[in-house]
Structure 1
Amino acid sequence: MSEISNTRYIFDMQNIRLPNHLYNICPRPLLDALKNVRHVASRTFAALKHVERQYNKRFYRMCPRDSEHEHHYYIHVESVRRLFNWKADHEPCCPTLAPSMKLPPFMLHFHIEEAAYAMYAAEYARLRMEYLDGPHRVWIDATGEVFDKLESSGAEFSEMEMRQFCRWWGSFLREMRKWEDRFDELVLPSWEEIVGELYDAIEERVELDYCC
């Protein structure tokens, strides 16, 4: 089941900050490249979060949001929020004997149109491409610059210092993979798939046999 939620990114700052003993032995061009790569990483991560926020609107954007449908849109958005905020068990660490009551259908009013979702999907596809051609490309270039500066600085490191730096640099890149890899998950479902996901959520969370 697809949920509407923000991914939590937990970073180990020890793997991000260059240790003092390495900072003191790195030549200035390499330090400048490292400063730049951290700055670029921050900007690229922020751009990825923007893509993620737009991805999280996928169920909302099944409804047109132009002025003609403004009323329908806000009701639809609130209904989606209620649907996906429902939990089978609100206290998973201390489960109750009885499951949570499902949502009564009168609380939910969905308004979906394939054309609206297609328009959103086109906007989202452009956003993904802008991310790849812009911030992500700058990030790739910045990491490449670090490799270049490291290669040209090799003679200034002892073998042990080079191993220590490469070990830290590998840890830094693995830390960055926590957000880099997220992009591949931010692929919109097709219209048929998202309708199926919405239907499954309704079937799971709404009391379809509700009687007033």
Structure 2
Amino acid sequence: MTVLPRAFAWQRTDTVGGEFVTLDDRRGLRAKGVAFAADNALYTCRYELQTDESWTSTRLEVAVDGAGWRRTLRMERAAGRWRVTTAEQGDLERVLPTAPMSGIEEPDRLHAVLDIDLYNSPLTNTLPIRRLGLHRAEPGTKVDIEAAWVLFPSLAVLPYAQSYEVLPRQRILYRSENFSAELDITDDGYVTEYSGLATLA
């Protein structure tokens, strides 16, 4: 088993929950994390996430568990195309009737996606920040991207338009549809404060 040299932990500020991750970011990112929350349904998840050396997302494996159900998702990007596979045990809909199906029916809708964004995860905001060099960019720099938004606990995958704008004093303004939040970041682009959502422990 590989030992990863760095670790971060965030405490949720909007609900009971948190995220812990170990990672190696010397040549792109390799991360293993665990998160739990009580925001939609009580759940815990374990994930492995990998990028290439340019910080473009290439692989995600995630399993989400709750009382009486389990869902898994695997995403892999090769030759510019995403392959998405899912599995389910038990019945999440019994606990959360509004839960969508896991995965995505048409993976080709992800053709423009270079970043994976896990639902309410401070870690995955670092992916476009590092890929685009926003942690070193001048204030006022703004970029628009499309990410693969992975919803918890359902593991539905949605292509999602997002924007990142560099603010003074190591802050980023993140926007997606009608949502916006300020992100305080470290020198190397990791979130220390996600307004209204989480804080670095």
Q: Which has the higher contact order (CA 8 A, sep 6+)?
A: 1
Q: Which has the larger radius of gyration?
A: 1
Q: TM-score, normalised by structure 1?
A: 0.22
